[in-house]
Structure 1
Amino acid sequence: MPQLILVRHAKSDWGEPGLRDHDRPLNARGERDAPVLAARLAVARDADPDAFGIARVLSSTAQRARSTAEHFGAALGIPVEFDEALYLAPAETLLATAAAANVDGVLLVAHDPGISGLAHRLSSGGIDRMPTCAVARFAWRGGTWAEAITRPAEAWSVDAPREGRRG
């Protein structure tokens, strides 16, 4: 059963003039939110392990995404793999990368606008925007990634630091 968890990187720091976008770290709120959302996902997985088949954690190489992904990888006990192609990637690239991971369950940490665009598409418009550190979970019943990427998910949910769960 294909399953995709999208995580928008946690809140980043804009305080250092001249710092390249790729190198921006998390700010204090991001450092606070990322482990909280990662722990909530791990608790949900532990409560229903049959519903969570996450085998790979893939992340953009940007510092803010790397830091966010490391919190999720640690909470889930899965090593993080970094992929330059995920940095500021459009929705199509994000979905193709997940499908090409060659496992049923993928957690992907990336950026807007691609991550919000993909969440909107996979939720049939139910998710308008992914706030920083939001976690959206999508599942398709049966089938393959090749089939899943052509249609919205059959089930989805979203969790965000300030908004809580819905879906």
Structure 2
Amino acid sequence: MKTLYLVRHAKSSWDDTALDDFDRPLNDRGKKDAPLMGYILHQQHILPDLLLSSPAKRAHSTAKKIAKAVGYAKKDIQTNKNIYHAGPGQLLEIIQSLHSVEHSVMLVGHNPGLTDLSNLLCRKHIDNIPTCGVVCIEFDIEKWNQVMPESGRFIFFDYPKKHT
């Protein structure tokens, strides 16, 4: 059994128009939403074996805030530059390349790739994963390279506005 948590980065700031998209930080709402979602995941006893993030500032900041809340060591967060701007096919390849020893993986990234990936992996259609939204999908497999389209079972979909 493998469990995948798809996490869209928290709300980011557009205040500094000179900043490259990659370097945009979280805004005030994002700085509140990421720990909130981390707390909610912690309350459900969710602690991933691997936390994998886009290296973009807003995604990595989200990953660090969630890691702190769930008890995952921030120094163990791995980044993969291919997550940034990845489509569902590229994200699927990243997942399929994961080590089998990791049973639960949290992937922090961006839309539209994450929403498209969620819809590719399970039969539950989601229109949009909002900022800091989390989709949990389980797979009855032993190795990540066995993840295929529609092979996942939708477990839950949560996001900050459900709790405010």
Residue aligning to 1:104 = 103
Among candidates 76, 87, 90, match of residue 90 of structure 1:
87
In the TM superposition, residue 120 of structure 1 has moved relative to its aligned partner by 1.8
Q: Alpha carbon RMSD of aligned pairs, Å?
A: 1.7
Residue aligning to 1:56 = 50
CA distance in 1, matches of 2:119, 2:162: 17
1:59–1:137 Cα change, 3 Å = same
Instruction: Give the structure-1-normalised TM-score.
Output: 0.87
In the TM superposition, residue 119 of structure 1 has moved relative to its aligned partner by 1.4
The number of equivalent residue pairs is: 158
Task: Say if 1:140 and 1:155, in contact at 8 Å, map to a contact too.
Answer: no
Specify every segment of 5 or more residues in structure 1 that has no aligned partner in the other structure, as ranges.
46-51
The 3-state SS of whatever aligns with 1:58 is: strand
CA distance in 2, matches of 1:17, 1:150: 38
The 3-state SS of whatever aligns with 1:136 is: strand
Cα displacement string for residues 111-132 of structure 1 (whole angstroms, at most 9, x for unaligned residues): 0110110112223143221000
Q: Percent identity?
A: 35
* Higher mean C-alpha deviation, range 90-99 or range 32-41: 90-99
Cα displacement string for residues 94-148 of structure 1 (whole angstroms, at most 9, x for unaligned residues): 2221232212211000001101101122231432210000011000234432333
CA distance in 2, matches of 1:53, 1:72: 10
* Higher mean C-alpha deviation, range 143-152 or range 99-108: 143-152
CA distance in 2, matches of 1:138, 1:125: 10
Is 1:37 matched up with 2:46?
no
* Higher mean C-alpha deviation, range 144-153 or range 125-134: 144-153
Specify every segment of 5 or more residues in structure 2 that has no aligned partner in the other structure, as ranges.
none
CA distance in 2, matches of 1:147, 1:98: 10
Cα displacement string for residues 73-113 of structure 1 (whole angstroms, at most 9, x for unaligned residues): 22233221111111111112222212322122110000011
Instruction: Give the structure-2-normalised TM-score.
Output: 0.88
Q: How does 1:1-167 map to 2 (within 5 A)?
A: 1-45=1-45, 54-78=48-72, 79-102=76-99, 103-163=102-162
